[in-house]
Amino acid sequence: AQKITQTQPGMFVQEKEAVTLDCTYDTSDQSYGLFWYKQPSSGEMIFLIYQGSYDEQNATEGRYSLNFQKARKSANLVISASQLGDSAMYFCAMREGRGNQFYFGTGTSLTVIP
What's the min distance (Å) between Cβ of 16 and another protein? 28
Q: Shortest Cβ distance from residue 56 to another protein (Å)?
A: 19
Task: Tell me the site size for another protein, rule CB under 8 A.
Answer: 21
Q: Which of 21, 25, 27, 37 binds another protein (CB under 8 A)?
A: 37
Residues 66-105 contacting another protein, CB under 8 A: 91, 93, 95, 99-102, 104-105
User: Which residues, including other chains, have CB under 8 Å from residue 3's CB and lie 6 or more apart?
Assistant: 25, 26, 27, 94, 103
**Selection from 96, 60, 98, 99 nearest residue 79 by Cα:** 60
The strand pair at 74-79 and 64-69 is best described as antiparallel
